[in-house]
Each structure stands twice: as C-alpha cells, then as structure tokens.
Amino acid sequence: MFDLSGEVAVVTGGNGGLGLAFCRGLVKQGSKVAIWGRNEEKNAAAVSELQGMGGDVEAFACDVTDQSQIDEAFAQTLARFEKVDSCFANAGGGGYRGPSHMTDRQVWLNTIDLNLMSVVQTWKPVTAHLMERQAPGRLIVTSSVAGLVGTGGAAGYSTTKAAVLGLVRALAVELGQAGIRVNAILPGYIETEMSLDTPQSFKDGAKRRAAIGRIGKLEDMEGVAAFLASKESDFMTGQNIVLDGGHSIFPL
C-alpha cells in the first residue's frame, strides 16, 4: 500500500518545514522528488538529507510567484525525471500580520500572489503535461485550518488559504474525468523552524485546544503526502484533509 515506486512528485517549498516533511513521506514510499525552492542552500541541504534516505531527489531554483521561473523549473524537472505524476503546491507564507483596515492594497495583492496565484501558476504546466500524456495525476495544495476558522490579525492569510479550497473544488470537477485528482491538506499549528518565534502562550493555547492533547509535529505530515500521491487516493477528489489534532472541532 502507498507504493510510489516509479512515481515522480514535485514539491514546491520542499526544502524545509511542511514541504520537506511531505518529501520525506514520499521518498519513504519510493517516489522520486523534484524540489522547487528559492533558497539554494536549503535546497542542497534537503537534497542531501533525502538522498541519504535513499531517495532519487533533485532541487531546482524557483520563485513560485514568477511564471517564467515555474516554467523553467518544470522544464528542468522533465529533463531530469521525464514526467510528473503529482504536484504539491506547498510554497506560501503568512503575509501581513495586523489589523485588516490598516493593510494597503499592494500588501493584499502580494499575499494573493504568494498564496493563491502561485498555486494556479504551479499547477498550470503540470496539468497541461498530464492532459497531454492522458495520464492520471494528483494536484495537492497546502491550505490551512485558518482557511476554515477566523484568525484575527491575519486576514490576508486566512482569505487566501480559503480561496485555494474553492480552487480545489473547481478543478476537481474540471479535471476529474481526465483522471486528475485535486485535494487540499489543511494543517493546524505544526512545530517547524518557521514557528520557533511563536509566543509560548499561543503554543500552550494550541495544545489546550487540541482534542488529542498535543500540537503537531512534522512527522504527522508524512503519511498524508504518501496517501494523496498514491493510487489509494484515486476515489478522493475536491476534499479538504484537516490535520490539526482536533483543534478546529474542540469546543471553546
């Protein structure tokens, strides 16, 4: 089960945090992985780690807000691996933190570009490739529980993470009969290198609200990546997979 031998996955932002956790899960099941990331030092470190696990992995420099860089990274990926079977549009960011009425238009547009348009742009060449091959494929996006619940002071982040859920549903309908499945992963609070400066009070609150009594670890992200990239997920499309330890359903 979840045998990904011979499969090729693209993971944007796969050089750290959630993206690297997805890569670990994919490599453990035999998938080849193409990492797209801006930081070449982190790219090299991620490739070294995953190759140490026995993975066939390569990284390509790419800013996912730039369509020309995406197209170049995709061309390099095809030259190296010859095909793509699944694509994890994981790269993104928190955007502006503060009152929404004090956020100017360009800041909103920057957040939309980073968290929504980057997904559209990343999936564009992958979808065309899958349609041309007439091959089944899988498109996955990293959304957030923030796309389902209110997060005061982070309206841009919440809005864009909710927007990709609409994109997932629309594309699931559009691409379903072509054999392309489209789904979203919605993590809750997960301990990553990006969360090191998170206030302890927030961490304590997240743990207290979790139905299972703890906050998330990167290892918790590995299995869902393998599942969504595998044929075992073929009957699932247009869905939101919430991984938050029960935080979003816990009563106040």
Dihedral through CA 238, CA 214, CA 50, CA 228, nearest 10? -20
Residue 143 φ then ψ, to 5°: -95, -140
The DSSP secondary-structure symbol of 92 reads -
Residue 111 CA to residue 114 CA, distance in Å, equals 5
The residue with tokens 């066939």 is: 56
Let me know: does 15 contact 189? Beta carbons within 8 Å. Answer: no
The DSSP secondary-structure symbol of 11 reads E
Q: Which of 2, 88, 157, 189 is catalytic?
A: 157
Q: Are strands 86-89 and 57-61 parallel, antiparallel or unpaired?
A: unpaired
Give the tokens for residue 77.
Answer: 């990926």
Residue 189 a catalytic site member:
no
Residues tagged active-site: 157
